[in-house]
Every structure is written in structure tokens, then in C-alpha cells.
Amino acid sequence: MRAPSLVPIYSEAPISYPLQRRRLARWSKRAFDVAVAGIGLLILLPLILVVMLWLRLSSPGPIFYTAQRVGRRGKSFRLFKFRTMYVDADRIGPGVTRENDPRITPVGRLL
């Protein structure tokens, strides 16, 4: 029977970093995430404005659908999505979406 060989294991897990380095890495990642999200938002802004205008003109009601959600560590946040169904859609039809559903707005069909 052969004895198992010992292989050194090197870890780059955050626990092996000194505290200051972890803080710097966390801050750097956050700064990168915010910068990329901001650039993406600027690039998509014209399209977002067109969709907002189209929603406003095609059906009455708010442009965004909002819902409370529970996120990381149980912290609640508000979710914003473009509204794809008519207001009070639950009164118009069943809860399950189907093909050619009358509750879906013209914009919602595209989105």
C-alpha cells in the first residue's frame, strides 16, 4: 500500500489576505462595479428613454413595476422593472401567462 503524497496547497482565498489588502480589494471591486454599471447605463440611456416613452403612450399606468424583495442578509430592497402587463392584470385573466395573453401590453410583447 502506498502512502499518500503531500502536496502543498496555496490559497488565494480572502482569508489569507491581510486585513488592509482585503479592504482595498473590496473597495476596488466596488469601484469597478459602479464604474461599469454607470458606463452601461449611459450607453443604454437612449434605449431606456424610448421604451419609457413607448410605455407611457401605449397604455395607462406607471412606467415601472415595483416590488419589495429580500436580498442578502435579509435586507429588503425595491425592485424596478419595466411594466409589461396592464395595471390590475390579475383581474383580467389567470395568474399563469400564456401565448397571446390579453394582459400583456404591446411593449411587454417585445420585451
Predicted confidence (pLDDT) at residue 1 exceeds the cutoff of 70: no
Q: Indicate if the pLDDT at residue 14 is higher than 60.
A: no
> Does pLDDT of 75 surpass 90?
yes
CB 82 within 8 A of CB 63: yes
Residue partners of 68: CB distance under 8 A and separation at least 6: 76, 77, 78, 79
Mean pLDDT to the nearest integer, 19-36: 89
Compute the distance between CA of residue 23 and CA of residue 52 in angstroms, rounded to an integer.
39
pLDDT for position 111: 83
Residue 23: predicted pLDDT: 83
Three-state secondary-structure class, residue 39: helix
pLDDT value of position 10: 59
Statement: residue 9 has pLDDT above 70: no
Cell numbers that stand for 86 in this block = 396592464
For 44-53, write each residue's pLDDT tens digit. 999 999 999 9
In the chain, domain spans: 14-55, 59-111
Secondary structure of 41-73 in HEC code, one letter for each residue: HHHHHHHHHHHHHHHHHHCCCCCEEEEEEECHH
Residues 6+ apart with CB under 8 A from 77: 68, 69, 70, 71
pLDDT surpassing 60 at residue 17 = no
Binned at pLDDT 50, 70 and 90, residue 18 comes out as low
Instruction: Name the grid cell of 35.
Output: 464604474
User: Chain-wide mean pLDDT for the chain?
Assistant: 83
